[in-house]
Structure 1
Amino acid sequence: MTQGILNLLSTLDEWIDQTPPIEQPQRFGNKAFALWYQKCKENSSKLLEDILPRELHPAIVELKEYLTESFGNSTRIDYGTGHEMSFCMFLCCLFKLRIFQEKDSIAVVTRVFNKYLNLVRKLQKTYRMEPAGSHGVWSLDDYQFVPFIWGSAQFIGKPIIEPSMFLQDEIVNKLHQEYMFIGCIKYITEVKTGHFAEHSNQLWNISGLTTWTKVNQGLIKMYDGEVLRKFPVIQHVLFGSILRFQACEKAKFALPMQRKPSAPFSVSTSQLTREAVLSRSQSDADALNKKPGNIPPVSVNEARVSKSPDSQIN
């Protein structure tokens, strides 16, 4: 089944080549994406029928929604963490239907999700898609989040590199194909210019943490606070018979009103990045004036990860 999903994604990749960008005055949001998306949507049922056993075909009506929603919005021509989450929900459905088993978990992340990641990056670059709901320089990444979580988990228990080393050019060039986290760093350096600390401040700060366990735990808390608890993201989530929505019998807390944060990433990420920054040495701060990419490894103190009071559940 893993190969079947990979073949499906390969087909979608070929359709990008068959749907080149069109000439238009706008720099971003090429309208050819809407044509690609429409083709994907119209053929999603057939694509899934070809790889799923017949007895599971009734589930396609739900599976195809998670699949098509995972590639972006065809009206705004944007892509963000909500679309990424839709693909994770698609994978979750395949596990719940026992199409994937627990033994397939590693392959699902390193092969299937990685294939999806390369596909959406191609979509982003080909059609100049806008980031949906990005925090700009204060975001972890303009488009993705999950590969940083799973990518940091790859390093836990493996004395390969320390977090302070993942910005070094030599490390990035050597490990980007094998480790998802490093692959994300390489992609950022390819699509953005300037010093890394200026265009990707959150990741620069996270490199100040001492262990990959702390990086991974902090990223999970960031995802909880910045994606799962954000109404603009969750309002688009679909539920059905596979992934059910069960209302709480008794509300345990009141959802806070949406308000403009006093500072970027004010929920759950500020502690992570602020304390990582404070742990850096003065010599590391001086590196801002050096050539981009030449970032020396530094010795850092232990940093805590915690959420602000307004993000906690009573």
Structure 2
Amino acid sequence: MEPKEEEHHESSPKSPRTPPLTSTCCKCGTTALGPPPPVTEISPPPNYIPIRTPALNLPPNHNQSQAIILAPVPQSQKVPTISFPHTFQIPCKQIQSPDDISRFHSSASSANFLGFIVSLSESIRSRKISDPCLQSLTVQCIVSILETLIQWIDEIPPLQQSSRYGNLSFRSWHSRLGDNAESFMLRLLLEGDLQSVTVEILPYFMDSFGNSSRIDYGTGHETNFAAWLYCLARIGLIKEEDYQSVVARVFVKYLELMRKLQLVYCLEPAGSHGVWGLDDYHFLPFIFGSSQLIDHKYMKPKSVHNQDILDNFSNEYMYLSCIAFVRKVKKGLFAEHSPLLDDISGVPNWNKVNTGLLKMYKVEVLQKVPIMQHFLFGSLLKWD
């Protein structure tokens, strides 16, 4: 994913000679304290500082909220597998404007990709992570690849540097990923005609773990990982009976990897909405995790405020795991640093949480030009 200024919200440190003022990001409404210092030859532009502490609690855009409320609930869809022989192609970017977003969301590819995510969510409904599930050779191979990537973090320690975020060792880790990515794909595809698919699925895989130039990670990278899994389903490597293990084994392992990368290399949040975002880095585990808790006898959305529940059940339920992680990395009152998650805790049941998050994912991620301008389209995920 190439760097784009639109993905970042820049806030500058306060000038010692200037009284504190409030500036508002024109894209999402988050606020930062202090005007930017004047740019001169002696004083270069300040580096990007990610929003990691609570911003001022301004309400989210009303029209945006209405769009989420009025949007239809996405429905699950069966992924159509391709027939062989098939001509694969290097995927490329197509989205540059809101009109392109509208064109994409009116296509069958968009509906089917989102339907795939809904199907994954339904596969884990009312199930714990530890529940028995079918683990195909494909699922076992993906988990093994992710475990290798986790092991590399231990082999490439972070550098001692003055910068708080964006440890340069991440570039070494990402470089090793690039050197080995093709061999990982071939391990999955084994022999025969499937080897030719590498040219198409490799870019999605490479864009799933953050950007090595900016040393950041966000929901766009996470969506690329979902797109990579979708492509594997399109070629028949991932089948419907694998969906539960794709969430409970593959995605859980992916989440473990990304959290370790975030903590060890201090990845900056790409395109974070700050205090009014769902989470600085992830969205899909909240969808899958809320599905897990549907019809749970004891745990309700408000249970996320019970520390004992988080301590004892976050290893079984992704939603609780996400809340526990947010509480670990953010300081202060939960309602101040995560007001949206706090609001969701007041929803009466997990089914409403799940459907609301699915609608929000479509509006807040798949319909955002700054995120989707980096998304790739080929023969498996078509630009119709």
> Which residue of the other structure, out of 26, 29, 37, is the alignment partner of 2:163?
26
Residue 17 (1) aligns with residue 133 (2): no
Quick one: which amino acid aligns to residue 192 of structure 1?
K
- Cα distance in structure 2, aligned partners of 1:210 and 1:220: 17
Amino acid across the alignment from 1:84: E
Equivalent of residue 211 in structure 2, options 62, 66, 73:
73
Where 2:149 maps in the other structure, the secondary structure is helix
- d(CA) in 1 for partners of 2:341, 2:180: 38
Does residue 1:164 correspond to 2:265, yes or no? Answer: no
Aligned to 1:267: none
Of 222, 232, 236, 2:360 maps to 222
Aligned partners of 2:177, 2:267: CA distance in 1, in Å? Answer: 17
Query: 1:180 matched to which residue of 2?
Result: 318
Query: 1:148-163 counterparts in 2 under 5 A?
Result: 148-163=286-301
The DSSP-based 3-state class of the residue aligned with 2:346 is coil
Q: Which residue of 2 aligns with 1:240?
A: 378
Match of 2:244 in 1: 106
Of residues 77, 80, 87 in structure 1, which corresponds to 2:225? 87
> Partner residue of 1:255?
none
Match of 1:209 in 2: 347
CA RMSD of aligned residues (A): 1.0
* AA aligned opposite 2:230: C
One-letter amino acid of the counterpart of residue 26, structure 1: S
Q: Distance in 1 between matches of 2:295 and 2:235?
A: 31
Equivalent-residue separation in structure 1 for 2:306 and 2:234 (angstroms): 40
Q: What amino acid does structure 1 have at the position aligned with 2:323?
A: I
> Residue 36 of structure 1 is aligned with which of 173, 195, 219?
173
- Relative contact order, CA 8 A, sep 6+: which one is greater? 2
Deviations 1:47-73 (A, max 9, x none): 121232212111111211111101001
Decide whether the 8 Å contact of 1:134 with 1:143 is kept in 2: yes
TM-score, length-scaled by structure 2 = 0.63
**Normalized against structure 1, the TM-score is what?**
0.77
Q: How does 1:140-151 map to 2 (within 5 A)?
A: 140-151=278-289
Report deviation, 1:22. 1.2
Shift of 1:165: 1.2
* Aligned residues of 1:5 and 1:112 also touching (Cα < 8 A): yes
Could you say what secondary structure the match of 1:174 adopts? helix
Give, in angstroms, the shift of residue 21 of structure 1. 0.9
Give the number of equivalent residue pairs.
Answer: 246
**In structure 1, how many angstroms separate the alpha carbons of the residues matched to 2:195 and 2:325?**
37
Q: Write the distance in 1 (CA, Å) between the matches of 2:303 and 2:280.
A: 22
Unpaired stretches in structure 1, ≥5 consecutive residues: 247-314
SS in 1 for 2:188: coil
**Equivalence for 1:262:** none
Task: Map Cα deviations across residues 33-58 of structure 1 (whole Å, 9 max, x no partner).
Answer: 11111110121001121232212111
Who is 2:269 aligned against? 131
Partners of 2:339 and 2:191 lie apart in 1 by 49
User: Equivalents in 2 of 1:156, 1:25: separation in Å?
Assistant: 45
| Shift of residue 158, structure 1, vs aligned partner | 2.9
In structure 2, the residue matched to 1:53 is: 190
Task: Letter of the 1:27 partner, please give it.
Answer: R
Matched AA of 1:241: S
Distance 1:41 1:243 in 2: 22
**Paired AA for residue 183 in structure 1:** S
Does the CA-based 8 Å contact 1:167-1:185 persist in structure 2? Answer: no
Structure 1 position 25, deviation (Å): 2.3
Residue number in structure 2 paired with 1:97: 235
Query: Partner of 1:231 in structure 2?
Result: 369
CA shift, 1:160, in A, is 3.5
1:199 is displaced (CA, Å) by 1.0
| 1:73-119 deviations in Å (ceiling 9; x for gaps) | 11110100000000000111111111111011010001100100010
Secondary structure of 2:348's counterpart equals coil
Does the aligned pair in 2 maintain the 1:82–1:233 contact within 8 Å?
Answer: yes
CA positional deviation for 1:162: 1.1
Deviation at 1:15, TM superposition (A): 1.1
Post-superposition Cα deviations, 1:279-310, rounded to whole Å, max 9, x if no partner, equal xxxxxxxxxxxxxxxxxxxxxxxxxxxxxxxx
Structure 1 partner of 2:201: 63
